[in-house]
Structure 1
Amino acid sequence: MDNAPVSCLPTNQRMSKAKKVIDEAREIQNPELDLCDKGIASFDEMPGLFNMLNITRLTLTHNKLKSVPPGLANLSNLEILNLFNNSLEELPTSLSSLPKLRILNLGMNRLFSLPRGFGAFPALEVLDLTYNNLDENSLPGNFYMLETLRALYLGDNDFEYLQPEIKQLKNLQILVLRDNDLIELPKEIGELTRLRELHVQANRLTLLPPEIGNLDFSGDKSELKLHLNEWVTPIQDQLQTGIPRLMDYIRSETYRYLYNRQVALKNPPPPKIDKTKKISRVKA
């Protein structure tokens, strides 16, 4: 007999830990189910979960889930779903049929794409896709139909471009795109008149579209994060004097002339970071 190593937490024990939490929640009809850091690798370890139709909040953070079964869409009263820090490689199309889902956290996973029809969520307000492997080709055709969205977190992904359809997210107040590979921003971003936070630090940007001058970042709760990019010298100089001065410059005819001249050159800086060793790309 060889002494092959055995898991210190067999499946039946993992199941019993999750099952205990589920049974207790069912007994007292608790609408909030917290299964954080239970070592769960499969929804099979959570028997009866899909029958708990009263659940409004489901927390499955810091587990080992690789996929989500279509049956999760049975939880028709779900308002908050947190799947942060798992090993998710795919999502079911049915997820977007959850009628009351307002907050969806899929950050720190291994997603290379989103399922067809993902933009069909009827009530989604906050979508966190931070630290995955997404780019402009990963988004389904209807992604920008998420008109109820107030906050979109796409930091630590692989975007080089953002589609012009971003303008359809009329209610967007927070847009986070830090630590991508963005070469440029579309002029349509200037149509997001409710935007109060824009985070584009640590990309490959050299210019901002003049249309960003249509936005207002002057309020106490406003943020425009621009550092760690390859800005042309005039932007870099204005940035050192503060965001208000920069925005005035962006709105000037002088800048519009500079922008058109530089865009014609089409000379983006090379990538600065090798992302092949990202945790989200290393097979679990």
Structure 2
Amino acid sequence: MPGKLLKKILEEFKQSDEESLSVIDQGINNILEIPEILSLKRLTRLTLSHNKLTILPAQIAELINLEQLNLSNNQIEELPTAISSFQNLKILKLCFNKISVLPRGFGAFPVLEILDLTSNNLNEKSLSNNFFELKTLRALYLGDNFFEYLPNEIGNLINLQILVLRTNELVEIPNEIDNLKNLKELHLQSNRLQLLPPKIAKLDLLGPKSILKLENNFWIEGISNALEIGLSHLVDYLQSESYERLYEKEKSIVQKSQVPPKSERYKRIYKK
């Protein structure tokens, strides 16, 4: 049952012309306990962060005008298929939950621009079949998850400007990343990477407003030495013929036998 403060928040909202509602840190376990929220059709922005939600009901899709939905810092383990039926949703924040798989059809959002899935239990097998059809995405946050490989289809997200993959288990970046011509921020720090595809040097990640983060990986000597000098030197190295030959040779070796060990964080979650 909603507490006094929550009742007050809802009552004040009903009496206003606001289209934005924030219900933060109110100990909510289930949205269905507060059916009033689901009746607020005029809502365009809804924040339910820092609560105790473990599941998201399909009825959330009844809020047909939502443009922003923030469900961060809950305990959500499962999302309904209906979540992808939002036609106007531009920002979806699901960070700091316990999601291990995305529902079928998750990539159907027609205008989604920002998707934050930071700090969940996701890996490459967690993604829906149509995930990479989210071509309107400008920012994708997948940091603090458990991805070992990034699907080649990442290259389909042609409007991406920000891609965050820090603190995963990545051992390889696909060549298709060079399709992301609009990318201005790429965060790859704290993974198990040893090599970078030569084509990544084609991306404009060295401008004054660009960010490229590569710290705390297992880089081969050539990349490590280039990074010590600077990112511009790294780009020159990646574009060299000698590195391209080395990349093709080392890639097969790394894939077969010389993958760095999984992190302790991974072992704690998966008991491996």
* TM-score (structure 1 length as normaliser): 0.91
The number of aligned residues is 268
Whether contact under 8 Å (1:191, 1:214) holds in the other structure is no
Give the letter aligned to residue 74 of structure 1: E
**2:213 corresponds to:** 225
Deviation per CA, 1:142-166: give whole Å up to 9, x if none.
0000000000000000000000000
Secondary structure in structure 1 of the residue aligned to 2:233 = helix
**2:262 corresponds to:** 271
Q: 2:171 aligns with which of 183, 187, 190?
A: 183
The gaps in structure 2 that reach 5 residues or longer are none
Which range is displaced more, 267-276 or 27-36? 267-276
Q: 2:198 aligns with which of 185, 199, 210?
A: 210
Secondary structure in structure 2 of the residue aligned to 1:33 = strand
Cα separation, 2, equivalents of 1:276 and 1:51: 43
**1:30 corresponds to:** 18
Give the letter aligned to residue 218 of structure 2: E
Cα separation, 1, equivalents of 2:46 and 2:108: 20
**2:74 corresponds to:** 86
**1:128 corresponds to:** 116
Tell me how far 1:105 sits from its aligned partner. Answer: 0.5
| Equivalences for residues 59-70 of structure 1 within 5 A | 59-70=47-58
Tell me how far 1:200 sits from its aligned partner. Answer: 0.5
Deviation per CA, 1:171-191: give whole Å up to 9, x if none.
000000000000000000011
Give the letter aligned to residue 154 of structure 1: L
Tell me how far 1:20 sits from its aligned partner. Answer: 2.3
Question: CA RMSD for the aligned pairs?
Answer: 1.4
| Equivalences for residues 101-112 of structure 1 within 5 A | 101-112=89-100
Give the letter aligned to residue 105 of structure 1: K
Cα separation, 2, equivalents of 1:203 and 1:20: 46
Give the letter aligned to residue 236 of structure 1: S
Mark the CA change 1:277 to 1:27 in structure 2 (over 3 Å): closer, same or farther: farther
The reply to whether residue 95 of structure 1 matches residue 83 of structure 2 is: yes
Whether contact under 8 Å (2:43, 2:66) holds in the other structure is yes
Give the letter aligned to residue 91 of structure 2: I
Give the letter aligned to residue 266 of structure 2: K
Secondary structure in structure 2 of the residue aligned to 1:104 = strand
Runs of 4+ residues deviating >6 angstroms = none
Deviation per CA, 1:105-163: give whole Å up to 9, x if none.
00000001000000000110000000000000000100000000000000000000000
Cα separation, 2, equivalents of 1:95 and 1:173: 24
* Percent identity for Structure 1 against Structure 2: 50
